[in-house]
Amino acid sequence: MPYEPGSTQCRGLIAAKENLISAMNSLSKIENIDHIQKQLKDLYKELDDIHEARKVIENET
């Protein structure tokens, strides 16, 4: 069974994370942009942390 997000916030976070993965994949073959890739990875991690926190909050209700 596929994961079904519980709220609009979770769906938005999932979509944002998927878009960041897509952007990172698109940029992966471009030279000299390691700093941009790192920023995108850092942003992904921050969104993932927010998403995990949201899941905890939603499971409590």
Query: pLDDT digits over 6-60, tens only?
Result: 788 999 999 999 999 999 999 999 999 999 999 999 999 999 999 999 888 888 7
Rounded to an integer, what distance in angstroms lies between the CA atom of residue 12 and that of residue 31? 30
Is 1 inside a domain boundary? Answer: no
Rounded CA separation 5/17 (Å): 13
Q: How far is CA 41 from CA 7, 9, 59, in A?
A: 24, 20, 27
Let me know if residue 2 belongs to a domain: no
Q: How many domains does the chain have?
A: 1
pTM of this prediction? 0.83
| 34 found inside a domain | yes
Domain extent for 33: 8-60
